Copies of this chain bind each other. A is one copy, B any other.
Amino acid sequence: MSVRVQQEDFDVGREIAQLRASTRGVGAVASFVGVVRDLNDAAQIRTLTLEHYPGMTEKALERIVVEARQRWDVYDILVIHRVGVLKPSDQIVLVVVTSAHRGEAFAACEFVMDYLKTRAPFWKKEMTPDGERWVEARASDDEAAARW
* A residues with CB within 8 A of B: 11-14, 16-17, 20, 24-39, 89, 100, 102-103, 105-106, 109-110, 113, 144
Known: A12-B16, A25-B39, A37-B100. A32 touches B105 (CB 8 A): yes
- Bound-state CA distance A107–B70 (Å) is 23
Cross-chain contact B33 with A89 (CB below 8 angstroms): no
Cross-chain contact A26 with B37 (CB below 8 angstroms): yes
- Bound-state CA distance A89–B144 (Å) is 33
**A contact patch SS:** mixed
- For residue A109, which residues in chain B have a CB less than 8 angstroms away from its CB? 30, 106
Cross-chain contact A27 with B20 (CB below 8 angstroms): no
- Which of these, B20, B25, B32, contacts A30 with CB under 8 Å? B32
- Bound-state CA distance A38–B20 (Å) is 13
Known: A12-B12, A13-B16, A16-B13. A102 touches B27 (CB 8 A): no
- For residue A26, which residues in chain B have a CB less than 8 angstroms away from its CB? 35, 37, 89
Cross-chain contact B32 with A28 (CB below 8 angstroms): yes
Q: Told that A12-B12, A27-B34 touch, could you supply 20 new A-B pairs with CB distance under 8 A?
A: A13-B14, A16-B33, A24-B38, A25-B38, A26-B37, A26-B89, A27-B36, A28-B34, A28-B35, A29-B33, A29-B34, A29-B35, A30-B31, A30-B32, A31-B31, A31-B33, A32-B105, A102-B110, A106-B109, A106-B113
